[in-house]
Structure 1
Amino acid sequence: MNDDPRGATAPPPPGPRNGPAVSRPEFDALFERVRAWGRWTPADRGAWNRVTADHVLRATALVRSGTVVPMARPWDTAPAPDNAKPALHYMSDLGDTETPEPSTYKDFVGADYHGKGVSHLDALSHIAYRGRLYEGGAARESTGAGGARFGSVSALGPLVTKGVLLDLPAVLGVPWLEPGQAVHGMDVVTAERALATRIDEGDAVLLRTGRFRRRRERGAWDLDAASAGLHVDALPLLAERGVALLGGDGDSDVRPSPVEGLRSPVHTLAIAAMGVPLLDNLDLEALSAACAEAGRYEFLLVAAPLNVPGGTGSPVNPVAVL
């Protein structure tokens, strides 16, 4: 394999635990099982409505050392197998356009951030299943050239709650999960026990697969072809626990998808059925080290997406405080 992350590489073969396969009728039954429509007001904040002032106060009690860990990737302007649409960064003022002092230096940044290159949040307008967004509205009637009129990222605001890191490589004693390896519901329970934590209502759950350690050591690969992530059989447990936010160092979905004819089934269940926004492409390596040093995998999490009216998501830099 080419170890240069800027060069094209063949994707690694899927890992050994991608199954079991799920038929579309089985998936549709699962969708109905976890569906949480009509539960909250305002509806387009979805599961973030679970987080109350009491949740925030309990989360702040987890701050003991004051260690602050950012989780966003660097703004990546280089094309790579996992960055098909590189971010933009250029200078718009080099101090040579104004006569009076002081001179100024300005820059522009931009990104088509839904993908594998930018750390970002998916709002509830990002995913529709069978033409319906979360709460059942027709996606084509709610979203147009001017953006989303329901489920916009601007409806969410900041989230402050307890974060739980499911550090699967630490639990399994491996540097990373191989691309294509699925994390099942039973693996989530095993991780809770091994890490002495528990997912509770209103929590933000972050799954570390070790993607970025593998990327640094082995080079970039096409995550659409193969990536470690959650199997759909883990979603009923997360729905039962009442999570408010789900994220990870991939995009939460195991790939190849275990569901026939459905590209992103975890996205579909979390966003369109459960009303749970997603955090994609977080670099969790520093958080893994900080949690191991602290001997605990719970922390205060702050996620503040950009206030973009009509936006289907936002680049974001979530922060963990231990």
Structure 2
Amino acid sequence: MGWDMTKLDYPNLNRQPCQHQIIPLLDGVAFDDIFTMNPQQSSQWDGLRHFSQTVPGQTQRVFYGGTTSEEITDRKNDRIGLQHWAREGIAGRGVLIDYAAWAEKRGIKYSTFSTHQVRLADIVEIARECNITFQKGDILFVRVGVTKEWDTVMTDAQKQEYSNNPSPLHAGVEGTTDMLRWLWDTGFAAIASDSISWEVYPPQADVFLHEYVLAGWGMPIGELFDLEALARMCQEHQRWSFFVASIPLNMPGGVSSPPNIMAVF
């Protein structure tokens, strides 16, 4: 479920592609490797240090638990860092909402590099058709189709155009108050997708979900997960629930991490 670490090979927002060096040791008797990477450029969990929120009556934005930007940039301070998730892991029952397959069956055409929205009504309908009953503590996965479009449809020129765009467009889950309430009331432990921003970007409605989910609730958000093989397995078994286990990087003060995740049927 982790995408190739070299992708997005044409990232946006001034992020850089992953660089990988192989270093010989002992005249080639052994080798090491060196990774230079921004986890946000490929499959990743957004940690609690990734996104802040506004607070009524205050001018300064804060992160989860009232953590400030000054605390995050102070390298002696590892408050709300990834090390806390790494010690416990992220594990539980995963549930897949395969919006991409559902939309294809209905002739709904869209690019995942647009402001196309997965609406709450769509998720509820897909869950009904697949006999999915959500449970407290579930980890929600929504397949929109980004990795498939990037790998099989887009040309290098289109990828470069996306990378150069100062105002990128990302398909994703709608950012509405109804969606926010549903996520809270359903009791998910984490949410993830193959989309770049999880939610549609730029926001098309009244809510930017990252502010509430990360900075308000402390819930992990996964993005750019490779859900293609998972979707095929779910379709083959006609079962859209499974066990997932993920161990984020044990980096004190870390902001984000590759998911290091697997699904077990």
TM-score range, shorter chain: 0.7 to 0.9
Contact 1:180 1:254 in 2 (8 A): yes
| Alpha-carbon separation, structure 1, partners of 2:7 and 2:210 | 26
Trace 1:29-48 onto structure 2 (pairs within 5 A).
Answer: none
Contact 1:148 1:311 in 2 (8 A): no
| Alpha-carbon separation, structure 2, partners of 1:147 and 1:247 | 30
Alignment-derived partner of residue 118 in structure 1: 42
1:80 matched to 2:10: yes
Contact 2:24 2:31 in 1 (8 A): yes
% identity of equivalent residues: 25
Alignment-derived partner of residue 187 in structure 1: 122
Secondary structure of the 1:291 match is: helix
Residue 194 of structure 1: CA displacement? 1.7
Structure 1's 78 and 121: CA in aligned 2 closer, same or farther, altered over 3 A?
closer
Structure 1's 189 and 77: CA in aligned 2 closer, same or farther, altered over 3 A?
closer
Alignment-derived partner of residue 171 in structure 2: 228
Contact 1:230 1:266 in 2 (8 A): no
Secondary structure of the 2:212 match is: helix
Q: State the Cα deviation string for residues 75-105 of structure 1 (Å, max 9, x = none).
A: 20784255941001001226526xxxxx111
2:244 is aligned, of 286, 292, 301, to 301
Contact 1:143 1:150 in 2 (8 A): yes
State which drifts further: 117-126 or 160-169.
117-126
Alignment-derived partner of residue 57 in structure 2: none
Contact 1:185 1:235 in 2 (8 A): no
Quick one: which amino acid aligns to residue 236 of structure 1?
A: R
Residue 165 of structure 1: CA displacement? 0.6
Runs of 4 or more above 4 Å deviation: 81-84, 174-177
1:143 matched to 2:72: yes
TM-score (norm 2): 0.82
Quick one: which amino acid aligns to residue 104 of structure 1?
A: A
Quick one: which amino acid aligns to residue 44 of structure 2?
A: H
Q: Which runs of 5+ in 2 are unaligned?
A: 55-60
The structure having more radius of gyration, on CA atoms, is 1
| Alpha-carbon separation, structure 1, partners of 2:91 and 2:228 | 21
| Alpha-carbon separation, structure 2, partners of 1:145 and 1:229 | 33
**CA RMSD, aligned part only?**
2.4
Q: State the Cα deviation string for residues 166-215 of structure 1 (Å, max 9, x = none).
A: 10022221597533211122222112112211222111101100112212
| Alpha-carbon separation, structure 2, partners of 1:150 and 1:258 | 32
Residue 287 of structure 1: CA displacement? 0.6
| Alpha-carbon separation, structure 2, partners of 1:127 and 1:154 | 17
Alignment-derived partner of residue 258 in structure 1: 204
Quick one: which amino acid aligns to residue 226 of structure 1?
A: L
Quick one: which amino acid aligns to residue 234 of structure 2?
A: C
Secondary structure of the 1:232 match is: coil
Structure 1's 245 and 86: CA in aligned 2 closer, same or farther, altered over 3 A?
same
Aligned length: 241
Quick one: which amino acid aligns to residue 191 of structure 2?
A: L
Quick one: which amino acid aligns to residue 201 of structure 2?
A: R
Secondary structure of the 1:283 match is: coil
1:90 matched to 2:21: yes
Contact 2:95 2:141 in 1 (8 A): yes
Quick one: which amino acid aligns to residue 74 of structure 1?
A: D
1:270 is aligned, of 213, 231, 234, to 213
Trace 1:1-322 onto structure 2 (pairs within 5 A).
Answer: 71-76=1-6, 79-80=9-10, 84-93=15-24, 96=27, 103-114=29-40, 117-130=41-54, 131-135=61-65, 137-146=66-75, 149-157=78-86, 158-172=89-103, 173=105, 177-178=110-111, 179-219=114-154, 221=159, 222=162, 225-233=168-176, 234-250=179-195, 251-259=197-205, 265-322=208-265
| Alpha-carbon separation, structure 2, partners of 1:279 and 1:79 | 19
State which drifts further: 123-132 or 160-169.
123-132
Q: Which runs of 5+ in 1 are unaligned?
A: 1-70, 98-102
